[in-house]
Amino acid sequence: MKILITGSKGQLGSELVEFLSKDNKVYGFGHKELDIT
């Protein structure tokens, strides 16, 4: 499964990326990567 995590540089986001990447394809982005303004 492909999963997109916004805020992956934070405490919760980084834990989610680590946990979910064991069985899934995880794409994590922080504030700088998702600055769309």
Q: pLDDT (tens digit, 9 = 90+) per residue, 1-37?
A: 999 999 999 999 999 999 999 999 999 999 888 887 7
**DSSP-derived 3-state class of residue 33:** coil
For residue 31, give both structure tokens. Answer: 């504030």
Q: What angle do CA 14, 17, 32 make, to 5 degrees?
A: 60
**Domain coverage including residue 1:** 1-37
In the chain, how many domains are there? Answer: 1
Distance in angstroms (rounded) separating the CA atoms of residues 37 and 18: 28
Residue 12, φ and ψ in degrees, nearest 5: -70, -45
pLDDT value for 37: 78
In the chain the first and final C-alpha atoms are separated, in Å, by 29
Predicted confidence at residue 8, as pLDDT, reads 93
